[in-house]
Amino acid sequence: MVTGRDTPEELQWGGRFASAPDPALLAYGSSLGDDLFIARYDVACSRAHVAGLLDGGIVAPEDALALDAALEQVGAEIADGTFGAWAIAREFEDVHGAIDARVREIAGPAGDRLHSGRSRNDQVATTMLLFAREFALDGARGCLDIAALCAARAAEELERGTLVAATTHWQPAQPILLALWIDAVARGFVRAAERFARVASDAARFSPLGSGALAGSTLPLGRAKAAGLLRFDAPSPNSLDAVGDRDVLLDFVNACMRAVLTASRPSEELVLWASPAFGYVQLDDAASTGSSLMPQKRNPDPFELIRGKAGALIGAYAGAAATVKGLALSYHRDLQETKAIVIHAAHDAIASLDAFHRAFGHVRFVHETMNGRAGRGYTVATDLADALIAGGTTARDAHRAVGERVALAEAAGRDLDASDLAHLGIPGAPLDAQASVRAKRTAGSTHPDEVRAAITATRDAIAALVQTLPAFGKEPS
């Protein structure tokens, strides 16, 4: 640990303490390892604070210029990696103190003015909103990229007319167009993108910067100036709420979790479809791994890992919510844990979305197998019941009558056939998967015309969302 006037703890805490902290306890409380991921956001926050100090007449123009130039240099050092090595070597408690100390080194006496009217409480709250805003936009874009890929592949499979036996309870249920399944995946990612977009919007509403530790400041800080530079709508209206509010961060972790859950569900299906028991899909080598022991193995690891990440993110959200639930208003050190959760959730979610996008692009559907099995397992039985209902039979009686014919066919080891239609008095009812699909009438169904409309609606939703995202922009460097 560095000792003397230039120690990190002296720079942050001033004369209240007569000795340095226990090094082990300081290390236990350090968040520097995680904080390095948010260093550039802290620089943006600090540059806006300098502008607010100048706007309020708290620092002279020449000091503001020196501070801003020093922060610009720190930003460059963060970008090239030298700042992180320096901060780790100095064993700072967090990145906020490390940046303050580095500015002092670069700017000289002007550096002592950087922290005027500011607490790490409002600084952390603001920095994390900047982080969440940008990563929420990245999450939204990642989800929309997947949705667009799915829409394109759905259109291809619609033109092919590929069928698949959809399941409930993993039992054959009804024939559908594969394009309907792919578009359903796309719709989930559109909703995930909408959740991320809402988080990005909420993260741009109120700037905590200038709230101080909890009560505001006696200094005439230019809060509106700083908020505008950071692209917030306005300064936060309540200083006590601002420093301890983590609602947007909880929403962000929730959006990360929900997005990976969205990826996890089709991943589960694709893992099973890739097994010989189904044989519906094959994965290119680029999306598969082998076994260290068994030469024949071809494992769909990306989709399995996505399922695992979904579980981990559920735990991350629960942990963040549990951390916040018992805290009084204002800032408490417990909230440091939410910072780490947010950072790791962001990286896990973005990586998982990228993995799904890449892996899904390497999925090849085995059309012959899917088409061949679409009508098996008595998947047209519901169509027969519907035909009876259309002729005036009650739903209960229709269900029982068709169920009896299924039982007889199953006992005889055959599919439903014309003899069953004759017995039931519905000679025109669908008996194959293709006819079943084309017999559907309702909006949003698996009828080709409805699936085509659904794909168009998905593409329209993607385009509309894409138009809203650039309004938030990227954070200044």
* Structural domain span for residue 46: 8-116
Considering the domain architecture, whether residues 112 and 126 belong to the same structural domain is answered as no
Is residue 456 scored above 80 in pLDDT?
yes
Question: How many angstroms separate the CA atoms of 47 and 41, rounded?
Answer: 10
Active site annotation includes 291: yes
Q: How much is the average pLDDT of 412-429?
A: 96
The predicted pLDDT at position 348 comes to: 98
* 433 and 384 fall within a common domain: yes
| Per-residue b or e along 202-229, where b marks 16 or more CB atoms closer than 10 Å to that residue's CB | bbbebbbbbbbbbebbebebbbebbbbb
Confidence (pTM): 0.93
* Residue pLDDT, tens place only, 328-339: 999 999 999 999
- Residues 83 and 125 grouped into a single domain: no
Asked if residue 441 is part of any domain, the answer here is: yes
> What is the chain's mean pLDDT, rounded?
94
pLDDT higher than threshold 80 for residue 475: no
Give the mean pLDDT of 99-122. Answer: 96
Q: What is the pLDDT of residue 14?
A: 60
| In a shared domain, residues 69 and 148 | no
Confirm whether 62 is domain-assigned: yes
- Same-domain pairing of 259 and 362: yes
Q: Residues 455, 151: contact at Cβ < 8 Å?
A: yes
- The pLDDT assigned to 12 comes to 55
Helices 247-273 and 335-361: crossing angle, nearest 10°?
30
- pLDDT grade for 126, boundaries at 50, 70 and 90: very high
One domain for residues 266 and 361: yes
Same domain, 282 and 253: yes
Residue of 275, 291, 419, 477 marked active site: 291
Q: Which range, 4-8, 11-15, 251-255, is most confident?
A: 251-255
Average pLDDT value for residue range 213-240: 97
Give the active site residue among 31, 115, 116, 169: 169
Q: Give the tens place of pLDDT for each residue, 8-20.
A: 444 455 666 677 7
Same domain, yes or no: 108 and 130: no
Higher pLDDT residue, 383 or 90? Answer: 383
- Averaged pLDDT for residues 13-31: 77
Tell me if 47 is assigned to some domain. Answer: yes
Kindly give the residue spans of alpha helices, DSSP state H, lying in 203-325.
223-229, 239-244, 247-273, 301-325
Number of domain units in the chain: 3
Give domain status of residue 444, yes or no: yes
Where does a domain end: 87, 116, 145?
116
| Percentage of residues in the chain having pLDDT higher than 90 | 88
Where among 61, 96, 116 does a domain terminate?
116
Considering only residues 37 and 91, tell me which one the structure prediction assigns the higher pLDDT.
37
169 is catalytic: yes
The enclosing domain of 402 has a CATH number of 1.10.40
Confidence of residue 185 (pLDDT cuts 50, 70, 90): very high
CA distance 251 to 268: 25
> Which band of pLDDT confidence, cut at 50, 70 and 90, is reported for residue 4?
very low
294: pLDDT strictly greater than 60: yes
